[in-house]
Amino acid sequence: MNVAYLPSPSQGVVHLGPVPLRGYAFCIIIGVAVAVRLGSRRWVARGGAGHTVGDIAVWAVPFGLLGGRLYHVITDHQLYFDPGRDPWNALRIWQGGLGIWGAIALGAVGAWIGCRRRGVPLPAYADAIAPGIALAQACGRWGNWFNQELYGRATTLPWGLHIHKVNPDGTVTDGIFQPTFLYESLWCVGVALLVLWADHRFTLGHGRAFALYVAAYTVGRAWIEYLRIDEAHHVLGLRLNDWTSLVVFLAAVAYLVVVGRRRPGREEPGTVDPAAAAEASPAGDAATEGDATSSLSRPF
């Protein structure tokens, strides 16, 4: 019997009149705010304009949410489309279910669109936002705590997570389990600190800080997947996300090595953001207004 354990919330939503306030959504919103805040500070330190990161995030965040949901629904399609399941649940994102791989992949597409419209190189933007993304993931994982989902194996550890919920099939889950959401949240904080340190120590640029974030995250994710017991597809004895982690890790390490040899160092300050140069000019205010107006009709 566990003497101590981490409690789970009795509910993941509070109603303010007719308006539902969902813990899962708040965790995502807080994560986005943290990522934009830190990313903006890092971008300005690289010679960019303070509003650029937020402007590009307007494209990246919706694409990332869509990609995360698509990845989850595709890889766990049995939860929505097997006999007896409700396919409309695939649209209920507030109930949980975002795959980080899809979020990063499609979020990168959105960021690429935003960068093209602002005249900003995507690798430089990715480097600035990388530790913020890790912290956003750390915040977002607490949404799983509110929803009582994605926990690990049963445990007697004093930091085990108490789960008590009614499953879709009517059965009840009640016990103490590995708090994998907490492990991943702490790991993501460590990844963010690692990227901040390495970026300062080795002057990473041209996308290498982002590649380091990806490589470091996948290492912890592979271990956490080993602990999880939620339903998942298996390939050759491993969960699908373990294979994805391995492939992404190898790609990120290859990028670090190849780009590190071809383009060592970092982009020159002040060369990554046309908006910063415009703001620094005597006609900066007029130039900024013109850029904001023309960007609406600028091709991708």
pLDDT in tens, 191-242: 999 999 999 999 999 999 999 999 999 999 988 988 888 777 777 778 888 8
State in Å, rounded, how far the first CA of the chain is from the last one: 59
Task: Determine contact, residues 103/64, Cβ cutoff 8 Å.
Answer: yes
Domain residue ranges of the chain, discontinuous segments joined by +: 13-163+173-291
Task: Determine contact, residues 100/137, Cβ cutoff 8 Å.
Answer: yes
Task: Determine contact, residues 75/105, Cβ cutoff 8 Å.
Answer: no
| 248-255: long-range pairs with CB below 8 Å, 24+ | 248/101, 248/214, 248/218, 249/214, 249/215, 249/218, 249/219, 249/222, 251/214, 252/211, 252/212, 252/214, 252/215, 252/218, 253/211, 253/215, 255/207, 255/208, 255/211
Predicted pLDDT at 203: 92
One pLDDT digit (tens) per residue for the chain, 300 residues = 555 688 988 777 777 777 777 888 899 999 999 999 999 999 999 999 989 999 999 999 999 999 988 988 887 777 788 787 778 888 877 666 778 888 989 999 999 999 999 999 999 999 999 999 999 999 999 999 998 888 999 998 989 999 988 876 778 889 999 999 999 999 999 999 999 999 999 999 999 999 999 999 999 998 898 888 877 777 777 888 888 899 999 999 999 999 999 998 899 877 888 887 677 665 544 444 444 444 433 433
